[in-house]
Amino acid sequence: MDKIVLKTSATPEDMWNSVVDALYGTDNYDNEVLRRLFTALNYHNEMERGLHEGFIENTLETVQNEGFDPFIRELTDALEYVGAVDYITHVRTHLPRLYHLSFQYQGALETGSEIEINETEFLNAAARADEDYQNLKTNLEEKITNVISEKKHYIFE
Reported as a pLDDT band with limits 50, 70 and 90, residue 27 is low
Q: Cα 153 from chain centroid? A: 24
Mean pLDDT within 2-18? 75
Asked whether 155 and 22 are in contact (CB, 8 A), the reply is no
pLDDT in tens, 49-61: 999 999 999 999 9
Distances (CA, A) of 101 to 127, 142, 151: 14, 31, 38
pLDDT in tens, 130-149: 999 999 988 999 999 899 88
What letter would DSSP give residue 4?
A: B
Mean pLDDT within 36-45? 92
pTM of the entire structure? 0.84
Confidence check: pLDDT of 64 > 80: yes
Query: Using CB atoms within 10 A of its CB, is residue 116 exposed (0-12), middle (13-18) or buried (19+)?
Result: exposed
